[in-house]
Amino acid sequence: MGIDEKKNQAADFFWLMAGCVFLLFMGGKWNLPVTTWIGSIFFLRYFRIQRGFWGILLAFPFLLLTSHIWFTGLAEQVDPEFKILIATSFTLYIIIPCLIDRFLHKRIRNQLLSTLVYPASIIVIQFLFSYVEQLGTILHWTGSMFSFKPVIQLVSITGVWGPSFLTGWLASIINLLWEEKFELKKVRLPVAVFTGLFLLIVIWGSIRLAFFGPDPGTVKVGSVIAGFEEDNMFYIYEDGMSDADKLREKGKYRALTFKIQDELFSSSEKLIPTGIKILSWASGNAVVFAEDEAALIKRMRNFARENQIYFFPSLLVLGDYKGPDQNHVLAIRPDGQIEYDHYKGRNPNASFYRGNMVEIINTPYGRIASPICFEMEFHRFIRQAGKKGVDILIVPGDEPARGAAKMHTEFSMFRAVENGCSMLRTTLEGLTMGADYQGRVLSQMDYYKTLNNRIITTELPVKGVKTIYSLFGDWFAWLCVIMLLSFIGSACFNSTKSI
């Protein structure tokens, strides 16, 4: 092996390592939003210049290790198999689009269209993985961009696919420039089209934020969270103890459930004089043993009736429970009647898929739905809210991993932008946040930074809007599927023609 060849291999390896370093900050616990726009540039560069099979194979263990580090600390109450699935899926998110681009982009004879191969491939792979019930859109790169408010307005049209497509397209444009030694005149058209469209999206998003915000009229919503003595305390009891230990410790934990329930009601009473009309409790916070659930629900109904509020308490039921899922949320009217009882339909702790219904309650403050926590990762499921004209999403959340305290809350807000609803996510062991349907943050409270008096009020707009995404769903993702199939067909035709 010559000196020049060794230098080339070292340079190749550098691009892979640079991509892996950036990957650690593309979303997740160390999110730096700008890195999402940079990291894939290096991955694409690495795979395009590989000369053989072994260079491609070499990337897999490094990407798998990086993906594992990325995911470490983002989930605690999941099986090891789920962690393996996440790391493997994230690795394939990166490798497969790069391989498709490697084999196709030079076979597309139109320079502009060739730059679309990689971003279209990214969306097709992300779209296919979103059909895996354990994943949804949990790993989607758009999730890292919540702070880029003008750009995320695109989500109301394309769903989460649009911003992710832009990041891939930028990587393809930069690599085209790279291959042409950054001689702009050789790639003038692709660069001009991308730059013009990107600026148009930013300008349109800025105009939408500035001039087409929510109509006047808000409702005051209260969020109440009671702290635990230790993180994941009741999940440890339910899933981490033997039956003998559970029996021995039950009296202690049952007493703790009563203490937490009293604290939730006591803190909620403090919010009533502020004029709240809606009250939300976090998922996993109102913990109750099965034999005590009926009494707790009666107490909740009385509290709503006595204080004339719409009440959305989420319950975690322990012990000998026969319901569809241990996590469920009630929608209680001011007359004390239960409008609906929504059970968590997608649960990483319990077979993932257990239902497919988003229930609605009509109130003087708009139409309200209350999906639970992990359900917000599933765009097709939550799109029911957009199709049914929901104005407000009251989402009880629980993040039993400190690293995920911010990530899941921010990503769930994309469902509100997609479907034109305002949203409040009241989160145990995580970030509580209220936002309007443009992603404009109205309130937030970090569980780990607010050590006492974990209560907050949010003025939520009472009127949502219809969005293109809520009407037409994943049209952009399907467009990318059609584009990719067309590129494959064109490449095959060109190859046949050249023989």
pLDDT tens profile 219-232 = 999 999 998 887 77
Give the pLDDT score at 135. 81
- Residues 161 and 477: beta-carbon distance below 8 Å: yes
pLDDT at 295 over 90: yes
Q: Which CATH class is domain 218-463?
A: alpha beta
Domain ranges of the chain: 3-212+476-498, 218-463
Query: What is the residue type of 479?
Result: L
Please report which confidence band the pLDDT of residue 100 belongs to, taking 50, 70 and 90 as the band edges: very high
Retrieve residue 55's tokens.
């260079």
State both tokens at 142. 């758009």
Q: Is the dihedral of CA 138, 143, 219, 225 positive or negative?
A: positive
Question: How many Cβ atoms are within 10 Å of 218's Cβ, its own excluded?
Answer: 17
Give the model confidence (pLDDT) of 209-263 as tens digits.
Answer: 999 999 999 999 999 999 888 777 887 787 778 888 888 888 998 999 999 999 9
Q: Which amino acid is at 309?
A: I
Q: What is the pLDDT of residue 401?
A: 76
Cα–Cα distance measured from residue 247 to residue 110, given in angstroms and rounded to the nearest whole number: 70
Question: What pLDDT score does 11 carry?
Answer: 72
Q: Which residues contact 185 (CB under 8 A, 6 or more apart)?
A: none
- pLDDT exceeding 90 applies to what percent of the chain? 71
CA angle, residues 257, 244, 320, in degrees to nearest 5: 50
pLDDT at 406: 86
How far apart CA 358 and CA 375 sit, in angstroms, is 10
Give tens-digit pLDDT for 298-345: 999 999 999 999 999 999 999 887 777 888 999 999 999 999 999 998
**289: Cβ contacts below 8 Å, ≥ 6 apart:** 250, 254, 257, 317, 318, 319
Q: Is 486 exposed, middle or buried (0-12, 13-18, 19+ CB in 10 A)?
A: middle
pLDDT digits (tens, 9 = 90+) for 23-71: 999 988 899 999 999 999 999 999 999 877 888 899 999 999 999 898 8
The CA angle 161-162-164, to the nearest 5 degrees, is 70
- The residue with tokens 């969270």 is 225
Helix ranges, 72-160 (H): 80-104, 111-114, 117-129, 149-152, 155-158
